[in-house]
């Protein structure tokens, strides 16, 4: 019933997109469809479950509310309008460096910003949890192995998985990728990361085949859902590991064990991505607001962020001294009003 409602709503939204604008990921209805499509996945709401949160880290109130806004494609109120990012971006038409305005859904911060490394932090969070998942499946994980293509160019995948990764014993070369929305297809937010982008996938596959490895693009969508092909690979890995640990286990029992382990690790990956994404959006926004205050009011002025930060530290210190009975009122008041001078 819920599935039919989703499909009906998605169809209605798609009809509202002009025909010439149906490949434009800036379109509001395009973004709504991409969000609804991603929400249909089982692990998209893993962060809503308190048990799933314990797989990674508990969320603060602001992190949780941020993730709820992202889930329903709502604007984040704490991101000011016309907040400029400090990253360097060139206009594709003019070639001139111009300021990038932060969108109110945090897309630029999580996917495109080249300052503070937020996309890299999200990537690493996924990678670290995935490495633990492969190790729990009886595999050995090699971090960033160096390889060369036919032209002698270096290729550095994120992980090389050896041991129990495949049924024939081949090693797996993995490249982790994450995205917030589809570039051209609102019904598949990850398709543009699986296709041959700038020859990257072709290079990885060529090197993998030449060395007898299997190349896998470990793609995660906006809510932490891993693409189905990788889920199938991990399921078979967990199933083989269950059989290796117990020779007398039946096929049905191995399937149950593999399914439980797969669900556990998929939820943990989703929670790791959600936690890191929320932290990145909140921290990066706060930093940009402070920078904007400093530029407008000057560092150390009573309207600047550093002034208020220092005041908070002073108030905490004052509270400690009051509790200890060592508080000197004049030491605090005279700085502002000279009442005790």
Does position 63 have pLDDT exceeding 80, yes or no? yes
Q: Is residue 48 part of a domain?
A: yes
Q: Are residues 260 and 315 in the same domain?
A: no
Residue 221 is assigned to a structural domain of this protein: yes
Does the pLDDT value for residue 111 go beyond 80?
yes
Cα four-point dihedral sign 74, 108, 181, 131: negative
Residues 73 and 191 occupy one common structural domain: yes
Tell me whether residue 266 is in a domain.
yes
Q: At 26, phi and psi to the nearest 5? A: -85, -15
Closest CA to 166 of 215, 201, 206: 215
Instruction: Evaluate whether residue 122 is within a structural domain.
Output: yes
On the question of pLDDT at 44 being above 50, the answer is: yes
Is 102 part of a structural domain of the chain? Answer: no
Rounded Cα gap, residues 307 and 319, in angstroms = 18
Shared domain check, 316 and 221: no
Residues 237 and 142 in one domain: yes
Residue 226: inside a domain: yes
3-state secondary structure of 143: strand
Return the higher-pLDDT residue of 185 and 264. Answer: 264
Q: Residue 88: in which H helix or E strand, if any?
A: strand 84-90
SS3 32: helix
Tell me the pLDDT band of 25, cut-offs 50, 70 and 90. low
pLDDT band at 337 (very low <50, low <70, confident <90, very high): very low
Residues 68 and 121 in one domain: yes
Residue 282 shares a structural domain with residue 314:
no
pLDDT (mean) for 183-192: 67
**Together in a domain, 307 and 277:** no
Check whether 110 has a pLDDT greater than 80. yes
Instruction: Give Dmax (Cα) for the chain.
Output: 86
Check residue 331 and give its pLDDT: 52
Do residues 235 and 313 both lie within one domain?
no
How many structural domains compose the chain? Answer: 2
pLDDT tens track for 207-261: 888 888 899 989 898 888 898 899 999 999 999 999 988 878 899 999 999 999 9
**Token output for 74:** 């709502």
In a domain, 169, yes or no: yes
Dump pLDDT digits (tens) for 92-109: 667 777 777 888 888 889
Task: Give me the pLDDT at residue 15, please.
Answer: 77
Residues 319 and 265 in one domain: no
One domain, residues 121 and 151: yes
What six digits make up the tokens of 141? 């994980």
| DSSP-based three-state secondary structure for 189 | coil
Query: Across the strands, what pairs with 140?
Result: 162
The mean pLDDT value of the chain amounts to 79
| Same domain flag for 223 and 325 | no
Q: CA 341: distance to chain centroid?
A: 54
Q: Which structure tokens are listed for 127?
A: 């990678």
Does residue 100 form part of some domain?
A: no
Please state whether beta strands 154-155 and 147-148 pair in parallel, antiparallel, or not at all (unpaired).
antiparallel
Residue 328 sits in which domain range?
303-337
Between the CA of residue 151 and those of 202, 204, 257, what are the distances in Å? 14, 13, 44
75: nearest Cα among 105, 101, 107? 105
281 and 307 fall within a common domain? no
């Amino acid at each position: 019933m819920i599935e039919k409602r989703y499909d009906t709503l998605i169809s209605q939204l798609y009809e509202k997109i002009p025909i010439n604008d149906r490949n434009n990921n800036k379109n509001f209805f395009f973004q709504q469809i991409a969000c609804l499509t991603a929400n249909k996945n089982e692990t998209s709401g893993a962060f809503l479950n308190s048990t799933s949160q314990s797989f990674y880290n508990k969320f603060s109130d602001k992190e949780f509310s941020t993730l709820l806004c992202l889930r329903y494609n709502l604007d984040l109120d704490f991101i000011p309008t016309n907040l400029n990012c400090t990253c360097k971006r060139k206009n594709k038409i003019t070639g001139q460096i111009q300021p990038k305005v932060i969108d109110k859904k945090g897309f630029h911060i999580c996917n495109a910003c080249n300052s503070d490394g937020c996309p890299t932090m999200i990537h690493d969070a996924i990678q670290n949890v995935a490495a633990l998942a492969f190790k729990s499946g009886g595999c050995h994980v090699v971090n960033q192995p160096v390889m060369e293509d036919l032209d002698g160019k270096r290729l550095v995948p994120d992980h090389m998985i050896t041991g129990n990764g495949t049924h024939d014993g081949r090693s797996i070369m993995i490249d982790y990728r994450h995205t917030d929305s589809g570039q051209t297809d609102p019904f598949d937010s990850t398709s543009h990361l699986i296709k041959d982008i700038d020859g990257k996938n072709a290079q990885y596959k060529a090197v993998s085949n030449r060395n007898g490895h299997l190349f896998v693009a470990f793609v995660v969508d906006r809510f932490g859902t891993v693409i189905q092909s990788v889920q199938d690979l991990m399921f078979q890995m967990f199933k083989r590991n269950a059989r290796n640990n117990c020779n007398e286990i039946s096929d049905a029992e191995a399937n149950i064990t593999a399914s439980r382990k797969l669900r556990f690790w998929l939820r943990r990956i989703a929670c790791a991505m959600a936690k890191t994404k929320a932290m990145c959006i909140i921290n990066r926004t706060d930093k940009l607001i402070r920078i904007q205050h400093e530029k407008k009011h000057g560092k150390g002025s009573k309207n600047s962020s550093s002034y208020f930060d220092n005041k908070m530290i002073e108030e905490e210190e004052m509270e400690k001294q009051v509790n200890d009975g060592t508080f000197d009122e004049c030491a605090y008041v005279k700085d502002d009003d000279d009442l005790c001078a």
